[in-house]
C-alpha cells in the first residue's frame, strides 16, 4: 500500500494502519511518500505502484494533484482511494465555505497545541511564587493577595498560549527582586473589595474544616494585606484590575484586550 500526502502523511498512514488491523495479515508493506507537491513525483510513484500492484491511498489537498493522481491511476488500472476530497466537499457544502487547499495546515494546529501545553506547564511550574526566575521568563506576571484568582487566571490564560507566572503578596514577605527587573507593562495587579475577600476566605476556612478565628479571614488582616498590595502595585506602576464579583473569564478578557491594545508587551 502506498500512502501519498502533500504534507507529512502521518494521519493518512495511521488511518491506513487502523484499517489494515481489521484484517488477518501478519505483514503488509505500507510505504509513506510525504511532501508530494508536483506531477513528476506522482509519475515516479505511479510507476513504482504499478510494478508492485499496490493499492494507493492519498490525502492531497491541491485539486490539480488530486485530479491527476485519480486519472492516471485509473488509466494504469490502479485503485486509488482519496481520503481527503470527499470530506472537504461535504464540509464545504455544510458550511458554505471554500477549502483553502493549502498543505500542512494541520501541523500548524499541532504547533498551536504544543505552545498551549508549554504555557500550561509554565503556569504550573511558576505558580504561587514557587520559583521567582519565572517572572523574568513570563509573558505576564500576576500579583495579588491570597484568593484573588491568580492561579485559575494563570491557567485560563495558559490555554490562550500565554506564559503566566503569579506571585502572592504577603506583608511579612519581601517581594522577589525579579518583580523590579521586568517592565511594569508585563505585571498585572489583582485587587478585590475587602468584604468580598472576607467572604471568600471565610468559605475557604469552612471548606478546610478550620476555625473562623484564624487571622487569614479577619477583616483587620485583610485590610492590612490589601493596603500592602496596593502600595506595592503603585510603586511598581503596573496596571491593576479589580476582580470583585468577576468570573475568571471576565478578568482574562480584560487582560487579552490589554494585550491586543498594546498595553501589555
244 a known binding residue?
Answer: no
SS3 127: helix
Other beta carbons less than 10 A from residue 127's beta carbon: 20
148 is in an annotated binding site: yes
Instruction: Please say whether the dihedral angle defined by the alpha carbons of residues 197, 198, 203 and 206, taken in this order, is positive or negative.
Output: positive
144 annotated binding-site participant: yes
149 labelled ligand-binding: yes
Flag whether 27 is marked binding: no
Grid cell, residue 181, equals 527587573
Of the candidates 183, 105, 186, 193, the residue with the CA atom closest to the CA atom of residue 145: 193
> What pairs with residue 33 in β-bridges?
4
Q: Any binding-site annotation on 146?
A: yes
Closest CA to 183 of 237, 121, 249: 237
The side-by-side arrangement of strands in the sheet containing 80-82 is: 31-33, 2-5, 56-59, 80-82
Give the distance from CA 188 to its chain's centroid. Answer: 21
Binding site, annotated residues: 144-151
Q: Which residues are annotated as a binding site for ADP?
A: 144-151
Amino acid at each position: 500500500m502506498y500512502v501519498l500526502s502533500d504534507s507529512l502523511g502521518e494521519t493518512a498512514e495511521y488511518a491506513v494502519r487502523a484499517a489494515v488491523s481489521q484484517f488477518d495479515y501478519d505483514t503488509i508493506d505500507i510505504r509513506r511518500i510525504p511532501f508530494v507537491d508536483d506531477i513528476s513525483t506522482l509519475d515516479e510513484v505511479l510507476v513504482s505502484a504499478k510494478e508492485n500492484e499496490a493499492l494507493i491511498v492519498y490525502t492531497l489537498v491541491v485539486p490539480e494533484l488530486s485530479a491527476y493522481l485519480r486519472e492516471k491511476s485509473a488509466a494504469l488500472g490502479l485503485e486509488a482511494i482519496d481520503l481527503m476530497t470527499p470530506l472537504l466537499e461535504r464540509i464545504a457544502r455544510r458550511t458554505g465555505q471554500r477549502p483553502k487547499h493549502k498543505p500542512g495546515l494541520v501541523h500548524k494546529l499541532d504547533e498551536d497545541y504544543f505552545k498551549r501545553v508549554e504555557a500550561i506547564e509554565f503556569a504550573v511550574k511558576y505558580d504561587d511564587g514557587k520559583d521567582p526566575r519565572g517572572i523574568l521568563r513570563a509573558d505576564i506576571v500576576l500579583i495579588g493577595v491570597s484568593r484573588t484568582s491568580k492561579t485559575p487566571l494563570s491557567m485560563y490564560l495558559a490555554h490562550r498560549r500565554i506564559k503566566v507566572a503569579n506571585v502572592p503578596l504577603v506583608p511579612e514577605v519581601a517581594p522577589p527582586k525579579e518583580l523590579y527587573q521586568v517592565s511594569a507593562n508585563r505585571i498585572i495587579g489583582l485587587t478585590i473589595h475587602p468584604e468580598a475577600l472576607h467572604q471568600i476566605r471565610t468559605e475557604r476556612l469552612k471548606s478546610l474544616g478550620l476555625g473562623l478565628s484564624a487571622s487569614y479571614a479577619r477583616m483587620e488582616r485583610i485590610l492590612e494585606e490589601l493596603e500592602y498590595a496596593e502600595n506595592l502595585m503603585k510603586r511598581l506602576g503596573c496596571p491593576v484590575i479589580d476582580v470583585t464579583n468577576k468570573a475568571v473569564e471576565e478578568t482574562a478578557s480584560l487582560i487579552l484586550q490589554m494585550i491586543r491594545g498594546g498595553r501589555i508587551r
